């Protein structure tokens, strides 16, 4: 059963909304806009959908979010799911939706996620959300925000492996270099390692430019069976492998601050795909903070432990490097609207595998690894995607 999903389901439509500051459209409007864009891309009508998956919004929450979006669209799906697994939500629900298609529960599913963290939340409300992540007994009483909790990880990693601030900064510079080639990215101004180190300190050792953006935006994908995908408008992109890994919920309970459950999710995904890290033409990795990318590179098998800093500093994540990474600009430069943030890594991977990414196209891209995590390095999901069904 390990390869039961391999090549059985394909992404046939993608849609990205405006990102950054989008005051004329709330989170619900962005979610629906993304669905419409994805349907147009796939050449489908809303009546062709019989499955819907969404993630609840922080700015505009509903008790039954997916059902509310279905009501808004006036569709009546056979499969309807609202999910939450932090930033990894989009990838975990993708293999759930693929399973529904593969088992005949439904035929065509749209996954859409959006939020308005920049224009839809007051500063006070945003800070309350940032401060409520920690364990209510062992973390929250000490007042750490999300950046502070990731600062613990960054400091532990730097102390363990001698990683330098310059190596962390190189992650941000790489993302910004790619964002400059993406007309849809929120931040496109060039930055240098020196700029990152000169930006104000947020949570030692993390500077402002080590931290992801705060954004409005949404994205959606349409999935269907491989058989139906062959007759669709766009070049299909197949799901070859998927895997999850869960290490903890609260960082005070983590067994390690320098190794994550990405090692488990990545192993399961590549085993299902029958491929390995060396087979990947590019990667889209969750980059909420710069040290997260280094840990993921190692845990996913692209580097040995402690070597990712030098790997990034040497330029290996560039478009002409050995592993082009976060080719759209990532959460650090493209956008980060919260839980939907990793959706843009997914739509970017599809664009790359369609060979439709323009100036940022990875040459001859055939296979990709995309990875997301939620919480404070808590819940991980890895996907392997390809132009061929395997």
pTM (two decimals):
0.95
Block residue for tokens 């939907």: 340
For 202-239, b/e burial (b = at least 16 CB within 10 A) is: bbebbbebbbbbbbbbbbbbbbbbbeebeebebebbbb
Q: Which CATH superfamily is domain 9-120+213-386 in?
A: Thiolase/Chalcone synthase (3.40.47.10)
- Rounded Cα gap, residues 146 and 41, in angstroms: 36
Rounded to 5°, the CA angle 228-230-234 comes to: 105
Kindly list the domain boundaries of the chain, sorted by start residue: 9-120+213-386
CB neighbours of residue 118 within 10 Å: 22
User: Which tokens go with 12?
Assistant: 């046939």
pLDDT tens by residue, the chain, 390 residues: 456 899 999 999 999 999 999 999 999 999 999 999 999 999 999 999 999 999 988 888 888 999 999 999 999 999 999 987 577 767 889 999 999 999 999 999 999 999 999 998 777 766 666 666 778 888 888 888 899 999 999 999 999 999 999 999 999 999 999 999 999 999 999 999 999 999 999 999 999 999 999 999 999 999 999 999 999 999 999 999 999 999 998 999 999 999 999 999 999 999 999 999 999 999 999 999 999 999 999 999 999 999 999 999 999 999 999 999 999 999 999 999 998 999 999 999 999 999 999 999 999 999 999 999 998 999 999 999 999 998
Helices of type H across 247-388? 262-273, 290-299, 308-313, 330-333, 343-353
List all residues 6 or more positions away from 342 whose beta carbon is below 8 Å from its beta carbon.
Answer: 87, 88, 89, 90, 91, 286, 331, 370, 372
């Amino acid at each position: 059963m390990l390869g039961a999903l391999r090549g059985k389901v394909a992404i046939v439509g993608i849609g990205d909304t405006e990102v950054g500051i989008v005051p004329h459209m709330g989170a619900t409007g962005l979610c629906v806009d993304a669905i419409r864009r994805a349907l147009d891309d796939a050449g489908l009508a809303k009546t062709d959908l019989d499955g819907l998956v969404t993630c609840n919004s922080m700015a505009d929450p509903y008790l039954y979010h997916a059902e509310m979006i279905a009501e808004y669209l006036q569709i009546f799906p056979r499969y309807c799911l609202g999910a939450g697994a932090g930033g990894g939500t989009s990838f975990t629900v993708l293999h759930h939706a693929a399973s529904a298609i593969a088992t005949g529960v439904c035929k065509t599913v749209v996954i859409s996620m959006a939020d308005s963290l920049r224009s839809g939340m007051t500063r006070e409300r945003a800070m309350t959300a940032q401060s409520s992540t920690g364990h209510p007994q062992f973390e929250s009483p000490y007042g750490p925000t999300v950046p502070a909790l990731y600062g613990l990880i960054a400091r532990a990693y730097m102390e363990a492996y001698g990683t330098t601030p310059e190596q962390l900064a190189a992650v941000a510079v790489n993302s910004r270099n790619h964002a400059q080639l993406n007309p849809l990215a929120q931040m496109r101004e060039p930055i240098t390692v020196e700029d990152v180190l000169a930006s104000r300190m947020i949570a030692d050792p993390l500077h402002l430019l080590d931290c992801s953006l705060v954004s409005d935006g949404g994205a959606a994908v349409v999935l269907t069976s491989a058989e139906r995908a062959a007759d669709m408008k766009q070049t299909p992109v197949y799901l070859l492998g998927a895997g999850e890994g869960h290490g903890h919920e609260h960082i005070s309970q983590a067994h390690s601050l320098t190794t994550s459950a990405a090692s488990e999710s990545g192993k399961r995904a590549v085993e299902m795909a029958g491929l390995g890290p060396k087979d990947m033409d590019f990667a889209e990795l969750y980059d909420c903070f710069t040290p997260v990318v280094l840990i993921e590179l190692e845990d996913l098998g692209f580097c040995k432990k402690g070597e990712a800093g030098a790997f990034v500093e040497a330029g290996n994540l560039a478009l002409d490097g050995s592993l082009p990474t976060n080719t759209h600009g990532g959460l650090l430069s493209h956008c980060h609207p919260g839980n939907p943030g990793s959706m843009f890594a997914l739509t970017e991977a599809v664009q790359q595998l369609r060979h439709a990414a323009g100036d940022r196209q990875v040459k001859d891209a055939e296979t990709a690894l995309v990875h997301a995590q939620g919480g404070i390095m808590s819940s991980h999901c890895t996907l392997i995607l390809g132009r061929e069904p395997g």
